[in-house]
Structure 1
């Protein structure tokens, strides 16, 4: 539509009065449940940002921090652990919310922030969000946003440097024909990891074969076919660098299905160092990023904002390091 959605737009679409929409937004009595449900569905579908109205009528803080994730999976689970640990004895409670990976569309976080802020939460942490400006009137911190530094305070890891470290490890083992299975195309972390891979290859004077660069979307299921294609090539790669551990786990499984031994026939390295990476067969060599610390750092930024403190560094970047296990070996 291109213009900001107004309360009048919501009322017109829902077939009710503006006063009724206002009552629903602010949780007042006198509205039938069916009407309330219909109005909230319209607010969701139109992306109406109702938080400013709700906050204007709020007389107290909830002392609840929301954390929004696309789905509950190993990476976000570690973020949640770090966030929860950072809030221990802080006086704040944590509300975890998922919009669901499929069917939400770009900017789903903004729609749900509009519904949660001002009534349920004082502020929010967004994990891998698609929004760069929350526009909801409450403090928000983003972890691994889809773009670089934004209008929001952000926390991420040294994705470029980590990919350089991982690639250098494979090069030092003698590998030259190295495949790269990338992550989500809409995330800055994915772009930086591929850039780091290419930079390390260039520094070593090893050309990147673009036929060996595939997209895996950071998901185990969507990585299996790209890996199968790579490992079925007549001149298959001797090593696979996967942009996250879930994709690397898919590589381990596909290699085994094809009768290839890891690391004797093909080396595999991941990125993240989720707890499951130490339990694969063989244990996965990976680039460690301090995932729980990402959650804790985001909470530190957010509580500072909520408590009226100053944030001297709004964009925090944490270091990465190599964890050597059994899935990589000399060529």
Structure 2
């Protein structure tokens, strides 16, 4: 998540004797530090920026080279982005649940105003509309975690027309849903399939293990660094760069 400007670490590029490039994490700048001109050896990478957050805007206002891992959902015009294909990941998870028999899917997404949560919600609504289904969507603050997901989903699972599958934007949500489903005597995946759009220790260690989308974290980071080097060198961003795609790990929570 993007923090305050004072919590953003500088990435420096130092030219060695052979002209090679080396990345170093520089010292944190004190809050309120101002820059009069763009430095060719200093830039910033902001991961998961909030649409309403000040971090990216402040860096750009200071005319500092800035690359984002995932786009700012309120600023799709900004070109320096290592992007993840949210539509592809969510669609493939939903298609997979449908292929396994799910017809009444509940989506639980975060309340955070970032690309991950906003686009996940939009894709689910569109996917449901194209199938003529009334979408079941709930929002939950990620900080509410496992317990918040249990409390939110329990009334749904007690209904006679309960969902037959749940997809969540966070692994801790998925773990909480699995816990309450088992407490209510529901079989996973026989009575309820569960999938998460974010793989984590919660999804890997749960019994049964929970199907999850694995984001290409290393590739995203590598692309962001390469983009930052390009910006520092004054090159134009590559047009229409293909967003990276995640890999679905189908596990026991969906019947593999």
TM over 0.5, shorter chain: yes
Q: Normalising by the residue count of structure 1, what TM-score does the alignment of the two structures yield?
A: 0.60
1:271 deviates by: 0.6
Tell me if the contact between 1:240 and 1:266 (Cα under 8 Å) persists in the aligned partners. Answer: yes
- 1:315/1:114 Cα in 2 relative to 1: closer, same or farther (>3 Å)? farther
Aligned to 2:191: 265
User: What pairs with 1:1-331 in structure 2 (closer than 5 Å)?
Assistant: 64-65=10-11, 90-94=21-25, 114-115=32-33, 122-129=42-49, 130-131=53-54, 132-133=56-57, 134=59, 135-147=61-73, 148-151=75-78, 153-203=80-130, 205-209=131-135, 212-219=136-143, 220-221=145-146, 222-274=148-200, 277-313=203-239, 317-329=243-255
1:224 deviates by: 3.4
- 1:170/1:283 Cα in 2 relative to 1: closer, same or farther (>3 Å)? same
Tell me if the contact between 2:48 and 2:115 (Cα under 8 Å) persists in the aligned partners. Answer: no
Structure with greater helix percent: 1
1:276 deviates by: 5.0
Structure 2: which 5+ residue stretches go unaligned? 13-19
Q: Normalising by the residue count of structure 2, what TM-score does the alignment of the two structures yield?
A: 0.75
Tell me if the contact between 2:211 and 2:254 (Cα under 8 Å) persists in the aligned partners. Answer: yes
Structure 1: which 5+ residue stretches go unaligned? 1-46, 51-62, 67-88, 98-110
SS for the counterpart of 2:22 is coil
CA RMSD of aligned residues (A): 3.4
Q: What is the rounded CA distance, in whole Å, between the counterparts of 2:30 and 2:237 in structure 1?
A: 25
SS for the counterpart of 1:294 is helix
1:136 deviates by: 2.2
1:314 deviates by: 7.9
Which of structures 1 and 2 has the bigger CA Rg? Answer: 1
Q: Count the aligned residue pairs.
A: 232
1:90 deviates by: 4.1
SS for the counterpart of 1:208 is coil
